[in-house]
Amino acid sequence: MTQEAMTMLPEPVRDRLVDESPLAIRGLTVSYGEKPAVFSVDVSFRAGKMTAIVGPNGAGKSTLLKAALGILRPLSGQVTAFGHPLDEMRARIAYVPQRASVDWEFPARVIDVVMMGLYRELGLLGRIRPRHRARAMDSLARVGMEGFATRQIGQLSGGQQQRVFLARALAQGADLYLLDEPFAGVDAATERAIIAVLKGLRDEGRTVVAVHHDLATVPAYFDRAFLLNVTAIAEGPVAEVMTEANLRAAYGGRLGPAQQAV
């Protein structure tokens, strides 16, 4: 339903129709050139669940996330978070970008990066107090990186860098966590550590949405799946979404035998 149509409804009806989902996307279209990368996608992510965004390479998974968050400018579409315009809800949303999207030679230590997660609380000039530092250290401990606080970030392995990014998001104390390929190029131990943290967040009632590459691990890691290939194909519990027909629709002939086994 469009915004204009909504305003014409009587208030009690409207309130029932407002999507209270932590992240609701309506009619989102994003284009880099002439061909849309994401076309007219409608999806609402379920609160308190872990949802994987799955689809083939170039399906627009990262693009969808970035456009929903306002990192990219969509051609059209509306995004609400917790039933409100996204900009009003930024304090409740934490984003973990792809590890390769930043320069890890940047002059910063691990703790400096995690403290960035406290920006909304500290503001431009707020004093960093012991409780802020304690929260940053606590976030690092949750990803098993408390011993690395004063390391330069360029000295870390890929998996450790990914954990630092997750710790920064944890320091934000958000209710919705959006992660872009959190398991890309990380070691097995890091993958286990990250999934444990994410499940912990889910068990606290928070919402986790992650762009995910590996179809084989979707059932073990996630409650729900959102299948995307430029257009939305299906969203729901993993078992209902990852059917052969849906996967064929998303992946076409590109599905390998290992993935078909899922």
Site residues (vs another protein, CB under 8 A): 66, 69-71, 87, 90, 93-95, 97, 101-103, 105-109, 112-113, 116, 119-120, 122-125, 152, 154-158, 160-161, 168
**H or E segment and range at residue 66:** helix 61-68
Q: How far apart are the first and last CA of the chain?
A: 35
Name the token pair of 17. Answer: 């129709």
- CB nearer another protein, residue 125 or residue 258: 125
In the complex, least distance from residue 4 CB atom to another protein, rounded to whole angstroms = 26
Shortest separation between residue 234's beta carbon and another protein, angstroms: 27
CB of 105 vs another protein, minimal distance in Å: 5
Question: How far is residue 180 CA from its own chain's centroid?
Answer: 6
In the complex with another protein, the residue whose CB is nearer, 2 or 101, is: 101
Least distance (Å) between residue 169 CB and another protein = 9
| 3-class DSSP state of 179 | strand
Q: What is the DSSP string of 148-171?
A: GTTSBGGGS-HHHHHHHHHHHHHH
Query: 201, 188, 199: which is closest to 162 by C-alpha?
Result: 188
Tell me the angle at which helices 130-142 and 158-171 cross, rounded to the nearest 10 degrees: 130
Q: Which is nearer to another protein, 111 or 247 (CB)?
A: 111
Q: How far is the CB of 200 from another protein (least distance, A)?
A: 22
Least distance CB 228 / another protein (angstroms) = 19
Amino acid identity of 223?
D
Q: Between 80 and 160, whose beta carbon lies closer to another protein?
A: 160
* Residue 181 and residue 146 in contact, taking contact as beta carbons nearer than 8 Å: no
Q: How many contiguous H segments (helices) and E segments (strands) does the chain have?
A: 12, 10
CA distance 113 to 120: 14
Q: How far is the CB of 151 from another protein (least distance, A)?
A: 9
Nearer to another protein, 56 or 158 (CB): 158
CA distance 100 to 52: 20
Torsion angle of alpha carbons 114, 164, 59, 261, nearest 10°? -150
Closest to another protein by CB, 161 or 207:
161
Give the nearer residue to another protein in terms of CB position, either 74 or 238: 74
DSSP state of 152: B
